[in-house]
Structure 1
Amino acid sequence: TTCPVPLFTASSYSFILSISEEEARVKVLNEYLSTRSYIQGFTFSHADVEVFRKFLGPPVDQYIHVVRWYRHIEAIYDGSSEKNEPCKLQTSKSRRVQPPWSPPEGTKHSRLCLYNSLTRSKEVFQPQNGKKVLWYSCGPTVYDASHMGHARSYISFDILRRILRDYFKYDVFYCMNITDIDDKIIKRARQNYLFEQYRENKSTSEQLLEDVRTASEPFSVKLNETTDPDKKQMLERIQNTVKSAFDPLQEAVQAKLPAEEINRCHETLLEEAKDLLSDWLDTKFGSQVTDNSIFSKLPKFWEGEFHKDMEALNVLPPDVLTRVSEYVPEIVDFVKKIVDNGYGYVSNGSVYFDTMKFDASEKHSYAKLVPEAVGDQKALQEGEGDLSISADCLSEKRSPNDFALWKSSKPGEPSWDSPWGKGRPGWHIECSAMAGSILGESMDIHGGGFDLRFPHHDNELAQSEAYFENDHWVRYFLHTGHLTIAGCKMSKSLKNFITIKDALKKHTARQLRLAFLMHSWKDTLDYSNNTMESAIQYEKFMNEFFLNVKDILRAPTDVTDQFQKWENQEVELNKNFYEKKAAIHEALCDNIDTRSVLEEMRSLVSQSNSYIAAKKSSRQMPNRLLLENIGSYLTQMLKIFGAIESDDAIGFPIGGSSQNINV
């Protein structure tokens, strides 16, 4: 191999070596090299070696050209080049190379785990298609005002949805239904219609007293037959309320008091006996109500009120909203395929799901969520609805555990055409058909309240897997916990509930959301004065910190002063900050444990407050950027949770919103 032209010629070689004093020699060498390329290849001449060997050590940095030349020779010179020896390349063994790099060990990467009702344990969350999440949630049955039980589910799922979307960065596609065809809706619509007609007929007080006496007889029978203690207490309360209004009117009529007094007592009894009279009127005249618009007017009104309540609570609207009344053709087709697949049968114009045949299949299993509830006739009858549990209806089934896919309509009920005659959808089939139409044969998440597990969600699973002939219609089933009121069971049917509108008269939407965040989404939440006081105090605590930080940031400073030297206090607070962020991440990965998250946030604020106080006591300015980072992070987390709506960088907005607080 021919060597490249050497850096030094013979003349320059002699001249450089003739300079005995090293500093002078290096200086001349630097000037010489400044006009030449001294990295021409990977070889060197004897002249290069002789000059290189003259150095007692590496040259000082001020002679930049000599430094670079020296490093180049040092890197490729193996010490074997002597006079008259040809130049050669350094061997791979002796050539200087970069030392091995050791990667950091790091820490184990946490993955999101969710409590899955299908296994009753926390499972690693793994969507079926990358980061896309298909999610269906059971919406309300709209026949009355939305209450705090609804808020328990919809605020909790809104929090989970936001965290999956905005923290874990999943692409969530969220579908929810509105049940606007249901036994409860039909019965309530008929009763409201018949009661209003009764009111408009303006019966005499004597006639009203007689009608209330008559209506009380079946009511008393119902009360005596009721074994459920909560329901019995509710019926007794109604009976006592009616009696307290009945007696004054009877006495006023008998005493022939002035018409004004009699009319006042008349209106009081009419209002207090509304439920009792409505039941009686429905029994007598319900079958004569045939106008379908009566059955659509009620749910349309209450659906509108529901959406207003959700907006007031800052609950995100679904990506898709499905109404049962708009999906009747799809429901009919869904039922037909279940029958064709061998899991449904027709009986007296109705269609039932064959639970025994389904469960006998090797591919299927009935009641995946609550297998121990199979055979619970009380729960099954509640799932069928009040209008569908007569002796005739029950006798149509092959097994008491079978449930209606399609109900033959009776007089006084809305109806649609089907291959089996005039009828209406069963409750459970509605969700299956609508969710299947939008999300397909399998979804990632299905959500609902804890009390929907059996029979509603178990029946949904069975009929959907019978339709799709698979065993994975739902991958993760999430159920929100119950809501109690000051320790007592809350139920719309028991008339023991607080409407969302009434709750918002006492507390802001943010305070309600904080109360939910301070509890696990899957456990029972007690809506009480103590619960709400804790939420109010937490909001106040956070707000005071945000105001302090903003006050510090408002202090005048120039551009350079905003970058302050970090002392031990700043280093320690920053260390705590990152430890809290890591702890918050771990808590969110652990079944989205917002309760622990809020406690970690509280701890971080306490540490920051101590830091601010220490700085102020020593008459020093707290570190602006560090506090700004902490304040921005906490604000961002609260935004992710839906507790802050504004675009403010730090803290709660002030004024003009139901979300805001007085400061």
Structure 2
Amino acid sequence: MAASQDAGKVRRMQPHWAPPTGTQVPRLKLYNSLTRQKEVFIPQCGNKVAWYSCGPTVYDASHMGHARSYISFDILRRVLHDYFNYDVLYVMNITDIDDKIIKRARQSHLLESYASNGKSHSELLQDVAQAMQVFTKKMETEEDADKRTMQQSIAEKVKQVVCELNVAIEEGRPEDAIQATRKRLLEVACDPLGEWLDAALSATVTDNSIFNKLPRFWEGEFHKDMTALNVLPADCLTRVSEYCPEIVEYVQKIIDNGFAYESNGSVYFTTDMFDRSSGHSYAKLVPEAYGDSKELLGGEGDLCITEDRLSEKRSPNDFALWKASKPGEPAWDSPWGKGRPGWHIECSVMASSICGESIDIHTGGFDLKFPHHDNELAQAEAYFGNDHWVRYFLHTGHLTIAGCKMSKSLKNFITIKEALQQYSARQLRLAFLLHSWKDTLDYSSNTMELAIQYERSVNEFFLTVKDIVRSTPSSGVEAFSKWNDAEKDLDAKFHERRSAIHEALCDSVDTRTTMDHLRELVSAGNVYIRGRREGKQPPNRALLKGIAVYITHMLKIFGAIESEDPIGFPLTTEGSQNLEETVMPYLTAFADFREGVRKVAREQKVVAILEQCDSVRDEVLPNLGVRLEDVEGQVATLKLVDKETLLREKETKRQEEEKKRLEKERRKQEQLDAQAAREAQKRMPPWDLFRSEKDKYSAFDDKGMPTHDVTGKELPKSATKKLAKLYQQQEKKYNDYLKSVDSNQKENAST
């Protein structure tokens, strides 16, 4: 009995505990082009993510359209790996066999040979004329308005240089001048002349090495551009030229499975049969484009849009898996004869070779949806016999140039190298981060100015926090200060922004919203610092450092910061030494010495020394990339900023001061003019007050008062009354003036 009572007592003494309800943490969702909505991201193999990305077709310089895709993919990849901690295998291909590459390589080879064959000036002019006849006919039938405008521009340039060369020859100008004009003609006429030579001589090109030389060069340039943009290299890089045996085997199996057929040495995929078969559907990404002959032809390549090629197909909807090689084209052995891979098959084969029968993520540009990616899906699912070769398809949005479509074929593209001459890689990345990865992005001066302003405001916050961290104890009792309401409010905002950022990144990696939250966090930090300094209290070092470290960490995840520094954008010397760590101790010692000198100068009122201290701050240090800010009653703030930025700030400040000076002088002159007008008004006799206003009055009485308006009509009594009042006021001013003159005369006479 006693034992049971004791047990009950123990139970009554045990406290009640229940877990907190809390909130549900959001899960990562990605916008899936296959479903056209956001889907919860669930990899197929635990934490591992198999990711295949369509790489470039390397026949020319990489442009901002490439930057749009590959920077966006790089951001997505970094977020999945570094923020969500997925184990990502990132595979990217290089298309080094393609109709564009074959044509460009062949034409470049033929143009080089033509330029060195010693043709006379008249022969060159005759050949260019024939090439332009063909080019003009093509231009007249071009349906695309943008392309036609580009072709017209080429034709005008060729016409102009042809005229210049004829004039130079007729006038007998020096041979070096004629040769310079001739060289320029070959440059401006390279497209029409290359097409003309290719049409006549393509079959004579038998050296297959030229088809390897061109893509290898441009692939190297592409990798250099990606490195300059801080885009991480792929974990696995595949080239079409290295996978031709696998492509042949892949195509054979598709034939064996009943979804492809051989025709005249080429192999075509039968889309109708695939679409009708159980468990399959064609054009999953863009079903409304099924049967779009223009898009389908565009995917086949220029060299295959010929009557004999098109007649080989059983249906216009079928597309090439393997193309029989014609003379002047590279070729590989196959059961169907010498040939080369179709464009779409390469990605299916290479992605399957590395990632297997089902890929977690497949990425590419928006313009690749149809037919390229839809054809990829059909080929792979015909090969594996499944209906889920890709789980999540992610497509980046278009890039426009100042609102206009950008295209290599239109020759209005900006190369990555050209963009990097005007903006830094970080600024370009910030511009992309400030937009959704799946929406159209307009590359313009306005877009880049927003990115530059964002960089400037965040960098200024970093510099301020660094100065606070340097100027306060880092350890010991003094390192910890009491949190008051200001600190608690800032910490609450810090937590709110972090939660909001996590939610935004879970929402299909919404970097635009994320960057807004980071900006708000910077603003909250600046408001807190300003409030503390106005109250002459030191800001809390640990709290601000935590915020700055977090913002830095997020920008590192996004690839906008490359260094290992815990706070801010790096400043490095040529030897990659941390400039801040190297010079800041010396700058701090100098600033402390300067503050001591200023204190003595103020106490002893030595103005010249104070002026010298200001001169060092305003004239000397900015030229060294140092901003020193004097804060009343506190230690001066030191910030390392690039020299160009400081000099621009200095010039802006000078212009603003000059503007203020001119405005001050203008107001002063207005006051003087008004004073002079008032003085002149006093000296006017009242009988002359209205006589000059001939546009208002036509008759006056003997006192100078108006009696009739300009039309000759007698003035009403109400108007006469108002004028009489003005007359009396002027009469008083004039009498006062006369009295002052009389008084001055008497005073002068007495002296």
The normalised TM-score by structure 2 is: 0.76
* Contact 2:29–2:507 (Cα < 8 Å) also in 1: yes
Residue type at the aligned position of 1:208: L
Cα pair distance change 1:245/1:521, threshold 3 Å: same
* Contact 1:177–1:324 (Cα < 8 Å) also in 2: yes
For 1:574-653, what aligned pairs fall within 5 Å after superposition? 574-653=491-570
Structure 1 stretches lacking a partner, 5+ long? 1-79, 81-86
Q: Say whether 1:402 aligns with 2:318.
A: yes
* Contact 2:472–2:479 (Cα < 8 Å) also in 1: no
Aligned to 1:28: none
Q: CA deviation at 1:276?
A: 1.3
Q: CA deviation at 1:602?
A: 0.5
* Contact 1:655–1:661 (Cα < 8 Å) also in 2: no
CA distance in 2, matches of 1:253, 1:110: 75
Q: CA deviation at 1:493?
A: 1.3
Residue type at the aligned position of 2:163: D
* Contact 1:134–1:443 (Cα < 8 Å) also in 2: yes
1:345-385: per-residue Cα shift (whole Å, max 9, x none)?
Answer: 00011000010110001110000000111111111111000
CA distance in 2, matches of 1:570, 1:113: 34
Greater CA drift, 534-543 or 265-274: 265-274
CA distance in 1, matches of 2:186, 2:334: 41
Q: CA deviation at 1:93?
A: 3.5
Q: CA deviation at 1:464?
A: 0.3
Q: Say whether 1:217 aligns with 2:119.
A: no
Cα pair distance change 1:615/1:211, threshold 3 Å: same
Aligned to 2:721: none
CA distance in 2, matches of 1:647, 1:139: 29
- Number of aligned pairs? 578
Q: CA deviation at 1:131?
A: 1.1
CA distance in 2, matches of 1:355, 1:92: 78
Residue type at the aligned position of 1:540: R
SS of residue paired to 2:8 = coil
CA distance in 2, matches of 1:656, 1:144: 34
Q: Say whether 1:563 aligns with 2:480.
A: yes
* Contact 1:379–1:455 (Cα < 8 Å) also in 2: yes
Structure 2 stretches lacking a partner, 5+ long? 579-640, 646-751
Greater CA drift, 262-271 or 183-192: 262-271
Cα pair distance change 1:549/1:493, threshold 3 Å: same
SS of residue paired to 1:162 = helix
Aligned to 1:199: 115
1:592-637: per-residue Cα shift (whole Å, max 9, x none)?
Answer: 1100111100011101101000100111000000001000000000
Aligned to 1:105: 21
Aligned to 1:425: 341
Aligned to 1:534: 450
Q: Say whether 1:158 aligns with 2:158.
A: no
CA distance in 1, matches of 2:237, 2:170: 56
Residue type at the aligned position of 2:478: D
Q: CA deviation at 1:656?
A: 4.3
For 1:449-464, what aligned pairs fall within 5 Å after superposition? 449-464=365-380
* Contact 2:321–2:341 (Cα < 8 Å) also in 1: yes
Residue type at the aligned position of 1:564: S
Aligned to 2:409: 493
Aligned to 1:188: 104
CA distance in 2, matches of 1:655, 1:92: 71
For 1:177-576, what aligned pairs fall within 5 Å after superposition? 177-557=93-473, 559-576=476-493
* Contact 2:254–2:383 (Cα < 8 Å) also in 1: yes
Cα pair distance change 1:88/1:601, threshold 3 Å: closer
Residue type at the aligned position of 1:535: A
Residue type at the aligned position of 1:507: Y
SS of residue paired to 1:405 = strand
Q: CA deviation at 1:267?
A: 1.6
Q: CA deviation at 1:258?
A: 3.1
Q: CA deviation at 1:97?
A: 4.2
* Contact 1:132–1:170 (Cα < 8 Å) also in 2: yes
Q: Percent identical across equivalent pairs?
A: 65
SS of residue paired to 1:573 = helix
1:188-216: per-residue Cα shift (whole Å, max 9, x none)?
Answer: 00000000001111322111111110101
CA distance in 2, matches of 1:177, 1:366: 24
Aligned to 1:140: 56
SS of residue paired to 1:90 = helix
Residue type at the aligned position of 2:123: Q
Residue type at the aligned position of 2:141: E
SS of residue paired to 2:5 = coil
Cα pair distance change 1:88/1:413, threshold 3 Å: closer
CA distance in 1, matches of 2:403, 2:146: 13
Residue type at the aligned position of 1:437: S
Residue type at the aligned position of 1:142: V
The normalised TM-score by structure 1 is: 0.86
Cα pair distance change 1:409/1:622, threshold 3 Å: same
Q: CA deviation at 1:261?
A: 2.9
Q: CA deviation at 1:92?
A: 3.8
SS of residue paired to 1:93 = helix
SS of residue paired to 2:262 = strand
CA distance in 1, matches of 2:203, 2:440: 41
SS of residue paired to 1:103 = coil
Greater CA drift, 257-266 or 426-435: 257-266
1:245-296: per-residue Cα shift (whole Å, max 9, x none)?
Answer: 1111112223333323322221221211111111111111011101110100
Larger proportion of helix: 2
Greater CA drift, 91-100 or 605-614: 91-100
SS of residue paired to 1:123 = strand
Q: CA deviation at 1:108?
A: 1.8
**Alignment partner of 1:121 out of 27, 33, 37:** 37
Aligned to 2:696: none
CA distance in 1, matches of 2:13, 2:266: 83
Q: CA deviation at 1:661?
A: 6.0
CA distance in 2, matches of 1:530, 1:88: 82
SS of residue paired to 1:291 = coil
CA distance in 1, matches of 2:104, 2:4: 97
Residue type at the aligned position of 2:292: D
Aligned to 1:29: none
CA distance in 2, matches of 1:402, 1:117: 23
Greater CA drift, 268-277 or 135-144: 268-277
Aligned to 1:8: none
1:491-539: per-residue Cα shift (whole Å, max 9, x none)?
Answer: 0111110111111111110000000000000001011001111111100
